[in-house]
Amino acid sequence: MTQILMSLCEIDPAVVKQKTLAVRMRIAEVATSHGRDPNEIRLLAVTKGRSPDVVRAALRTGVMECGESYVSEALGKLQEIQEPRPIWHFIGPIQANKTAAIATHFDWVQSVDRLKIARRLSAQRPPHLRALDLCVQVNLDAETQKAGVAPEDAASLCAACTLLPRLRLRGLMAIPKPGKNMQERVESFLRLHALFRNVQQQLGSPDFAVLSMGMSADFEAAIQAGSTLIRLGTALFGPRPARVAAR
C-alpha cells in the first residue's frame, strides 16, 4: 500500500526529462538574447525533498550537478545514488555540528557565511579527497532570518577563506528577498555581480569565477545579470512540499 502511494506521489521521469529539456532551451535563449554564451551557465538541480528515483531521472537527461539543503536528508541519498554520481553541492544553512558530514560527503558547499564554519570545513575535509570547493553566501537584502554575510564583509571573508588549506574558494552565492518584482530582482542580482567583480579583482585568483544566483522563479533575471550557475528545483521537478523552502 505504502509502495503504491509513494509511486503515485512520484513525478514521472518522462516529465522530468521534458522539463529539463525545456529549461535548457530557455537558458540558451535568454543567454543568447543578452549576448552571453549558454555554455557559461551551469545548471544545478536542487533535489531537496525529492526521491533518489527523481534524481536519477534528472541525471539521465544530462544533469551533472545536484544540490541539497539538509544534511540528514541528503546523506542517505548521496550513498544511494552511484554510477552516475553527480557533483553534490550543499546549499542549505550550516550548523557547526554538521560541518564534518558536509566536508566528508559533498564536493561543493555554497552557503558558507562565517569564518568559524569555513575553518571547520577545512579542518574536517578528509585528506584523501581534493580540496572542498566553496562559495561564500551573501545576504543581499539584509534579511535577518536569512543566512549570508553582509555585502560589506564579503571581501574579507573571501580573503580569509583563501588561506584555508583544504578549501578552494570558487565564488559567491545569494538568494534575493522573496516578493520583489523582476526589476528589483535584476537590481539585486546586479549588486551581487558588482560585488563579485570587486572581490575577483582583489583576489586575482582564476578559481574565483562562479556567480551562483537564480532559482526557478528568477533564473532569467539572474542570467541577464551575469549568473554562471543557476539552482533549479521546481522548474525541473514541479512543486515541493511546502516545508522545504529556500533560506
Ligand X SMILES: *Cc1c(COP(=O)(O)O)cnc(C)c1O
Which residues contribute to the site for ligand X (CB under 6 A)? 46, 48, 69, 91, 175, 215-217, 231-235, 246
Dist CA 91 CA 88 (whole Å): 10
User: Least Å distance between CB 148 and ligand X?
Assistant: 10
Which residue lies nearer to ligand X by CB, 73 or 203?
Answer: 73
Q: Which three cell numbers stand for residue 84?
A: 552516475
Which residue lies nearer to ligand X by CB, 205 or 216?
Answer: 216
Q: Which three cell numbers stand for residue 97?
A: 555540528
Which residue lies nearer to ligand X by CB, 36 or 50?
Answer: 50
User: Least Å distance between CB 237 and ligand X?
Assistant: 8
* Residue showing the smallest CB distance to ligand X in the complex: 233
Which residue lies nearer to ligand X by CB, 151 or 233?
Answer: 233
Q: Which three cell numbers stand for residue 162?
A: 583563501
Beta partners for residue 66, in sequence order: 45, 88
Which residue lies nearer to ligand X by CB, 166 or 180?
Answer: 180
User: Least Å distance between CB 161 and ligand X?
Assistant: 19
User: Least Å distance between CB 23 and ligand X?
Assistant: 10
User: Least Å distance between CB 175 and ligand X?
Assistant: 5
